[in-house]
A and B are shown apart, each in its own frame.
Chain A
Amino acid sequence: MASTTRPRLGVWKFASCDGCQLSLLDCEDELLAVAGRIEIANFAEATSAFAPGPYDLSLVEGSISTPHDAERIREVRAQSRRLVTIGACATSGGIQALRNFGNVDEFRRIVYARPEYIETLARSTAIADHVPVDFELRGCPINKRQLLEVIAAFLQGRRPTVPTDSVCIECKRRGTVCVVVARGTPCLGPVTQAGCGAICPAYDRGCYGCFGPQDTPNTAAWSRRLRELGMRPDEIARIYRTFNAAAKPFRLAAEAAPSGDP
């Protein structure tokens, strides 16, 4: 197949750890098939070869946390026919969105010897807060099967099959015993979106909420139950404030927790 007929892929990094981009390289067995179907025009993590836009598909990792990035994402969007955000940073602001609940000027003064060199925004925000996004793929990190599904769906011109149900359904499908019911272990599974395959409960840990809120999260009911399981309000606020702290249902749940309000 002539390379000119292949759709052109761009992979872009904003404020992030690179883990989600690496999921694409982690596809190993399927990577050659992907490379055969798509021209990888820009993917700094994989190749230093860089081809200018426009791009048929852009995968965007990371959140917007600097004025420069807020400009750069507009350029990426302008150069991209389809733009898919990948990972918790790009879809909710990531763990760096914890800054949203503090004072950035104070952090800057304490952390850096020359704070005046640091140009940063007061809040870390999702890509969709800045430009239109065609699809958001959740996870910290994203699941490589879901990534392949998104790429396949793009190539085939269909909607990706990425359920927005709770993690509980994945625990039950794989036969994992519920850690909440059988052990009283706090878990975010009932309010978190599926996609990881329910890894943590299979290893006796509660869900950490890496995939963000499920489509109908009843965090009020779940916070009440977490209180009954013995968690203090500040602990409840903290478990919602991790990789998807700024996702609205988790943000509101954390804000409601200290007072005990729903």
Chain B
Amino acid sequence: MAKAPARQTAAPKKVASTPAPATNRESPRDPAPYDATPEELEKFYREMLLIRRFEEKAGQLYGLGLIGGFCHLYIGQEAVAVGLQSALDGDKDSVITGYRDHGHMLAYGIDPKVIMAELTGRQAGISKGKGGSMHMFSVEHKFYGGHGIVGAQVSLGTGLAFAHKYRGDGGVAMAYFGDGASNQGQVYESFNMAELWKLPIIFVIENNQYAMGTSVNRSSAEDQLYRRGESFRIPGMQVDGMDVLEVRGAAEAALEWVRAGKGPVLMELKTYRYRGHSMSDPAKYRSREEVQAVRDKSDAIEHLKKLMLDAGIPEEKFKDIDKEIRAIVAESADFAESAPEPEPSELYTDVLVEQY
């Protein structure tokens, strides 16, 4: 099975016999699991369940030929986007991610209908059907994509952070990328500038253990990815990405650091995707048992449900939520199937903004 998602938070401070700047430097406080109200627990649960059911439906529509091309599902990783984005200030913070972007958009409260309609390539889609699964944006929600080139969003996100600092608007950029992207050179070019200029950015590595079919330990000389910022003096945190309260708690500690003007933080979220890299991936590089073991022991939604039951939320509540979410997803699928395709004339629009 995959390495158990770690519960560890920050690296323990060592007392070194010789001066060791790496451990003596100030670092973000040790995070604590978030102390959520029952309402917040329910909100997290709803959002995570919406992502799960939405992605399951997207998988079905793909099977029916209604969604084409590459379609990367977020199933298994729901606690990451929900936990992190719930800590952001939607009015000023910005978010950017790679091609596995449906979950981040849903966690941002973007209408599932326009996301699903983009997946089916319809005019009503959020990119008018011209972007597809990997290229979706919502400037209104300060969600800057949706980028198909692995690692590009890290430099672009650093630019979003540069803009926040330049304007002095108090915003923080959050740039998500995977364990695979963490081996791209531009990630380190960005780390260097971000720390050099103390840019307000949280780099988030969603370590789902596999870069397509290559496991982290087959691709990474330093497989503790939260340490990848050390040579740039960027503090790292390793977080259990299967526990939404751990994620939210860690996000708060990271945000405190970044908002105080102390520069970037690198968060490694240990998580797991249950489906293949994309819909066309048979996932022969790992065993069925491995996947099943994570689902059984570490599933983020089941874990949260247990916490909520312990907190006294009755079982019937979950049935109601499930019904409600299924209805939202069914509606988005109906919409996405019945909405018209783009007008042929749309082929030529939006290439340039201005007329020359």
| A in complex with B | no
Which A positions have Cβ atoms within 8 angstroms of B? none
Which B residues lie at the A interface, using CB under 8 A?
A: none
